[in-house]
Chain A
Amino acid sequence: MTVADRPSRDPATAPLLLAARGLKKSYGRALAVAGVDLDIPERAFTTLLGPSGCGKTTILRMIAGFETPDAGSILLDSQSLSGVPPERRPVNTVFQSYALFPHLTVYDNVAFSLRLKGQEPNLDNRVRRALDSVHMGEFGDRLPHQLSGGQQQRVAVARAIIAEPRLLLLDEPLSALDRKMRGHLQIELKDLQRRLGIAFVYVTHDQEEAFALSDIIVVMNKGRIAQKADPLTIYSRPADTFVADFIGGATLVPATVIAAAPGRATVETPLGTIESAAVDGLAVGDKAALVVRPEGIAPAAGGAASLSGEVTHSVFQGERTLVEVVVRDIRLSLASHQPPAVGTSIDLVLIPERLFVTRLAA
């Protein structure tokens, strides 16, 4: 693989590989993709994250060439893909169900694309290298139905990377596997992506997976992009309540903006008046939401308490315990090393540096 030795420095700012503009696709009257602009840099691991039915697969299928957009354009290496059939796009796909050819051995599955190109003197070498890169070197003679789910997934990856595509599309490739196997394969995939330097566009509805793998996360909601950013930004500065809610673990407290500056806002909430970082573009009087995560709240030390609530649940998570507290009818979570007993009352402080004000999702 020619680019294997060139590690990616900052993949998120690498040159542009794919640019999609104004993509739209509807099935009958159902709008699957409702106007999407997407930039995929070279060598980056980009993830499309969103709930089932939000249009992720449809976007991949338009990039791969299986669906024609109703409107919009896709440029790859500055060349329009419009009218280019799937077999002539330098893009390969790892399908959600793997779609291995049941009548071909693992070896023949992986060799499929090279054989189509005619004489390939290095065929055997390249197939073996691709199989080795996914730790499947010893399984060349097996038929797909003789493999476990995780092994089938690896073969699907080997088959898709052997022709060295410019872009690899992966549609929920780990969703059919158990948790432990998923963890293993996430590490392998990320590792492989770094080594090959191929740009990946990865689809998942699992936010943990997206955080574990991605350079860039594109959060989607009902056929539109809700936010596109690096994982830390998505987590700490969610663009709206949909993103904050989907990423999980956050309480969204209703808030009204009483003062706004670029990137900051003061809001009035049932928990009191709070000044913190905020999305841009809020105006005084806007309805908004205060995003409170477990790290944004702590048990009060000494007389600093500003809030008090009742402990309603406590969930042991190994290293820490997640405590659910109800404060003025609002359910908050905080992490604690010495959990108080359920039913007792507890004094709390908010940590404004760890809070964020975001706008309400459309």
Chain B
Amino acid sequence: MIGRPLFSGFALGRTHLAIPVALVLVLGCIVPLGVLVVFSVFEVDFDAFVLMPALSPRAWSDLFHTWSFWVLIGKAVISGAAAALTTSILGYPIALALASAPLNWKGIGTVVLLTPLYTGEIVRIYAWRIVLGSEGLINTLLLDLHIVASPVKWLLFTPFTTALVLTYNNLPYMVLAIWVSAEMVDKRLIEAARDLGARPLDAFFKVTLPLTTPGLAAGVFAVFALAAGEMLTPSLLGGTSGQTAMAMIDNLFGTAFDWPLASALALALLAALFLTAVALGFCLTRFKGARAVIGRGRA
């Protein structure tokens, strides 16, 4: 049916089918951005607590002159990228194992993978406190086995904790994305590579990795965005290091009632994340595999 005239005088083609998609994109993406841009140049009457339409550079000037905002933006980019990196390194072996597992194991794998996602963030955060605290599971174990003499302090409320939990929280998304991609890689290609002299690791780097880059890319984009925007985990588990750009924006919108500055900071954070994501995407498409897999539809 696609591409054939539905009624005379009006041919419904592929291009027309894109109209609803375009509308969703405009409404879902452009409008919120526009609102932020407009708010960022408004003024606030801090006595009456009202937002007043204006064309003021005040918020942007504050943003550029406050060094700590840029530190927070940098932290968001780094923790997003770090989570993307750690989850892809850990995610690959898990995803490949799932892809080659027998069918009933795949079902078990899916459940194990998804359960943490459904338990809710707060529950997981308190669970981590129980595991990592001074009198937590790990320290008790280390002390009982006489591996350490006093509890390890850096397990909880440090940047390490944040990195660990962000990796754990986001691992399922990465595994799912790579797994779907790995399922579509023809097993015979791996055999062909082995047949031609590739050891298992050669076959991974020369065949599996290139052909699963679309999944890797999807996982990287998702995990990067989720981890960079994460607020609860760093603030409840990261201790004094747990301040985030998101929490700052929340604070500015709420307690401080500085909507223009909050909007400007949100836009700056968005720009930084977007540019990083573009850079990541550019790196990933350098792999020949991504182009071949995506380009196959045009054959």
Interface of A with B (CB < 8 Å)?
64-66, 85-87, 91-93, 95, 97, 99-104, 112-113, 116-117, 143, 145-146, 159-160, 163
Tell which of B188, B198, B207 touches A87, judged by Cβ atoms closer than 8 Å: B198
Contact, CB under 8 Å: A103 / B192: no
Kindly supply a per-residue 1/0 record for chain B positions 138-153, scoring 1 wherever the CB is within 8 Å of any chain A CB and 0 otherwise.
0000000000000000
Tell which of B194, B291, B293, B296 touches A86, judged by Cβ atoms closer than 8 Å: B194
Tell which of A66, A143, A146, A163 touches B196, judged by Cβ atoms closer than 8 Å: A163
Residues 163-192 (chain B) with a chain A CB within 8 angstroms? 186, 188-189, 191-192
A97-B186, A103-B291 known, 9 other contacts, Cβ within 8 Å? A86-B194, A87-B194, A87-B197, A99-B189, A103-B210, A103-B289, A112-B206, A116-B206, A163-B196
Kindly supply a per-residue 1/0 record for chain B positions 195-208, scoring 1 wherever the CB is within 8 Å of any chain A CB and 0 otherwise.
11111001000110
Contact, CB under 8 Å: A99 / B211: no
Contact, CB under 8 Å: A99 / B192: yes
Contact, CB under 8 Å: B188 / A92: no
CB distance from B194 to the nearest CB of A (A): 4
Complex: A64 Cα to B192 Cα, angstroms: 10
With a cutoff of 8 Å between Cβ atoms, the chain A residues found around residue B85 in the complex are none
Contact, CB under 8 Å: A66 / B191: yes
Is B58 among interface residues, defined by CB-CB distance under 8 A? no
Tell which of A66, A97, A116, A145 touches B197, judged by Cβ atoms closer than 8 Å: A116
Q: Which residue of A lies closest to B192 (CB)?
A: A99
Complex: A163 Cα to B196 Cα, angstroms: 8
Contact, CB under 8 Å: B197 / A117: yes
Q: Which residue of B lies closest to A169 (CB)?
A: B195
With a cutoff of 8 Å between Cβ atoms, the chain A residues found around residue B198 in the complex are 87, 112, 116
Contact, CB under 8 Å: A163 / B197: yes
Tell which of B191, B196, B210, B299 touches A159, judged by Cβ atoms closer than 8 Å: B196
Complex: A112 Cα to B191 Cα, angstroms: 13
Contact, CB under 8 Å: B196 / A113: yes
Complex: A160 Cα to B196 Cα, angstroms: 7
Complex: A145 Cα to B295 Cα, angstroms: 10
With a cutoff of 8 Å between Cβ atoms, the chain A residues found around residue B293 in the complex are 102-103
Is B231 among interface residues, defined by CB-CB distance under 8 A? no
Complex: A10 Cα to B293 Cα, angstroms: 47
Residues 19-42 (chain B) with a chain A CB within 8 angstroms? none
Contact, CB under 8 Å: B299 / A145: yes
Contact, CB under 8 Å: B207 / A116: no
With a cutoff of 8 Å between Cβ atoms, the chain B residues found around residue A64 in the complex are 191, 195
With a cutoff of 8 Å between Cβ atoms, the chain A residues found around residue B193 in the complex are 101, 112
Is B288 among interface residues, defined by CB-CB distance under 8 A? yes
Contact, CB under 8 Å: A95 / B296: no
Kindly supply a per-residue 1/0 record for chain B positions 255-299, scoring 1 wherever the CB is within 8 Å of any chain A CB and 0 otherwise.
000000000000000000000000000000000110111011001
Kindly supply a per-residue 1/0 record for chain B positions 202-220, scoring 1 wherever the CB is within 8 Å of any chain A CB and 0 otherwise.
1000110011000000000
Q: Which residue of B lies closest to A66 (CB)?
A: B191
Contact, CB under 8 Å: A113 / B197: yes
Contact, CB under 8 Å: B196 / A116: yes
With a cutoff of 8 Å between Cβ atoms, the chain A residues found around residue B194 in the complex are 65-66, 85-87
Complex: A116 Cα to B202 Cα, angstroms: 8
- Nearest 3 A-B pairs (CB), nearest first? A103-B292, A113-B196, A99-B192
Q: Which residue of B lies closest to A105 (CB)?
A: B288
CB distance from B298 to the nearest CB of A (A): 9
With a cutoff of 8 Å between Cβ atoms, the chain A residues found around residue B188 in the complex are 95, 97, 99
CB distance from A54 to the nearest CB of B (A): 21
Complex: A160 Cα to B210 Cα, angstroms: 21
Contact, CB under 8 Å: B296 / A145: yes
With a cutoff of 8 Å between Cβ atoms, the chain B residues found around residue A97 in the complex are 186, 188
With a cutoff of 8 Å between Cβ atoms, the chain B residues found around residue A100 in the complex are 192
Q: Which residue of B lies closest to A89 (CB)?
A: B195
With a cutoff of 8 Å between Cβ atoms, the chain B residues found around residue A93 in the complex are 191-192, 195
Contact, CB under 8 Å: B202 / A143: no
CB distance from A141 to the nearest CB of B (A): 13
CB distance from A230 to the nearest CB of B (A): 29
Given A116-B202, A143-B292, A145-B299, A102–B211 Cβ distance below 8 Å?
Answer: yes
Complex: A86 Cα to B203 Cα, angstroms: 12
Most chain B beta-carbon contacts within 10 A, residue among A102, A117, A160: A102
Complex: A113 Cα to B193 Cα, angstroms: 8
With a cutoff of 8 Å between Cβ atoms, the chain A residues found around residue B210 in the complex are 103
With a cutoff of 8 Å between Cβ atoms, the chain B residues found around residue A104 in the complex are 288, 292
Contact, CB under 8 Å: A102 / B196: no
Complex: A215 Cα to B197 Cα, angstroms: 29
Complex: A100 Cα to B191 Cα, angstroms: 11
Complex: A160 Cα to B194 Cα, angstroms: 12
Kindly supply a per-residue 1/0 record for chain B positions 45-65, scoring 1 wherever the CB is within 8 Å of any chain A CB and 0 otherwise.
000000000000000000000
With a cutoff of 8 Å between Cβ atoms, the chain B residues found around residue A102 in the complex are 189, 211, 292-293, 296
Complex: A102 Cα to B210 Cα, angstroms: 10
Given A101-B207, A102-B211, A102-B296, A86–B191 Cβ distance below 8 Å?
Answer: yes
Q: Which residue of B lies closest to A100 (CB)?
A: B192
CB distance from B36 to the nearest CB of A (A): 40
Q: Which residue of B lies closest to A108 (CB)?
A: B288
CB distance from A106 to the nearest CB of B (A): 13
10 contacts between A and B (CB under 8 A): A87-B194, A87-B197, A87-B202, A91-B195, A93-B195, A99-B188, A101-B189, A101-B193, A103-B289, A113-B197
